[in-house]
Structure 1
């Protein structure tokens, strides 16, 4: 299992601040999250960046170890 933490617009789109989901690859996890939460979160995920255990994840094929933490960071506005 992995812990997914949602921030800002991702939290609003998912309706939760965090949840436990089965671990696999980042791509598999994102597909699962889109299925669970539908179109609003799918839109956010398409523009979001991700941290896996505090490190920026650019490769969606990265495997998630048991107990991994994935942060979903939507684009932030402001200055």
Structure 2
């Protein structure tokens, strides 16, 4: 992984919408900025999924979408699942 980056892992419908299982992005972006960047990279289908998705940062639910993402972090993109 290049320096000063984060890893983004897609699950379920997010993976299908992105067309890849993993991405990398610059560290320091907020979740909102990351979502904008990923939508620009992968298109409207992923943008729609990201609006409803939950995000885990290093395995912990992240609710502050403006906090900068630290270098080396792993962000899991979890779309809504059936029944929940």
Q: Unpaired runs of 5+ in structure 2?
A: none
Aligned equivalent of 1:7: 11
Aligned equivalent of 2:20: 16
Q: 1:27-42, aligned counterparts within 5 Å?
A: 27-42=32-47
How many residue pairs match? The answer is 79
TM-score, length of structure 2 as denominator length: 0.88
> RMSD in angstroms over aligned alpha carbons?
1.2
| SS across alignment from 2:64 | coil
Aligned equivalent of 2:66: 61
Q: Unpaired runs of 5+ in structure 1?
A: none
Q: 1:67-78, aligned counterparts within 5 Å?
A: 67-78=72-83
Deviations 1:57-76 (A, max 9, x none): 11100111111100000001
The separation in 2 between residues aligned to 1:69 and 1:2, in whole angstroms, is 6
TM-score, length of structure 1 as denominator length: 0.94
The separation in 1 between residues aligned to 2:35 and 2:20, in whole angstroms, is 15
Q: CA deviation at 1:78?
A: 4.7
